[in-house]
Amino acid sequence: MRRDVEFIGYPRINKRENQQPDIYQALVAYVVEPPSYQEAAQHQVLVYSMVDEYISIMNNDVWEVVLRPLYRSVVGS
């Protein structure tokens, strides 16, 4: 899904942005990946991500369906 980009102007520079902060802070994110499709499908953000990934794969033609080889293991991705 392509999202249009809107130009809102050039960045403004002021004195506060040029000064170094007194305290450094870090933002740490803890992400839990859903263990199944059923759980992921309950979150609209993850559904949008899956649709974007599928569209990207199809548009870039990066995979093809082939017959499963006899007596061989299939590697999932």
Against a cut of 0.85, is the pTM above it? no
Confidence of residue 42 (pLDDT cuts 50, 70, 90): very high
Per-residue pLDDT at 45 exceeds 70: yes
How much is the pLDDT for 33? 85
Residue 52 neighbours by CB under 8 Å, 6+ apart: 1
Confidence of residue 1 (pLDDT cuts 50, 70, 90): very low
Q: What is the pLDDT of residues 49-75, one digit of tens each?
A: 999 999 998 899 888 778 888 888 877
Residues 1, 38, 59: CA angle, nearest 5 degrees: 25
Ranges of each domain in the chain? 35-69
Q: Cβ distance 64 to 17 under 8 Å?
A: no
